[in-house]
Amino acid sequence: MTAADPEAARVLSHFLDEDGRLHTIPSKHAKLLVVLDHLAQSFEPGDRYEEVEVNLVLRRFHDDYAALRRYLVENGFLTREAGIYWRSGGTYDVSDPS
């Protein structure tokens, strides 16, 4: 489900402010997955990130970046090993030539 998907766009509109920051982390799992997929788009597939880098990216969306990081890992959007993170899930834009 991508932000171009009308249902995903509707869910995101309820949780993101005009600056793209989360004002609330969804409590319903289905809505949380939509938000996490949106956040996962901030991480490039194939790139490796140190925890401090992940925190900086997630802090742009919400002050509780640790919770977002945990949710991303628990739900398979990011994988962590030895303090290094990489994107392991989420939707991909197959029309993107890169």
Residue 92 in domain = no
pLDDT (tens digit, 9 = 90+) per residue, 75-84?
999 999 999 9
Res 92: pLDDT: 79
Is pLDDT above 80 for 3?
no
Residue 26 in domain = yes
Residue 95 in domain = no
Residue 1 in domain = no
Residue 96 in domain = no
**Residue of 61 and 3 predicted with greater confidence:** 61
Among residues 95, 87, 73, 97, the alpha carbon closest in space to that of 4 is found at: 95
pLDDT (tens digit, 9 = 90+) per residue, 14-59?
999 999 999 999 999 999 999 999 999 999 999 999 999 999 999 9
Residue 14 in domain = yes
Separation between Cα atoms, residue 63 and residue 23, nearest integer Å: 10
Rg (CA), the chain: 13
Res 5: pLDDT: 85
Is pLDDT above 60 for 96?
no
Separation between Cα atoms, residue 46 and residue 1, nearest integer Å: 21
* Domain that includes residue 25, residue range: 6-87
Is pLDDT above 70 for 93?
no
Residue 81 in domain = yes
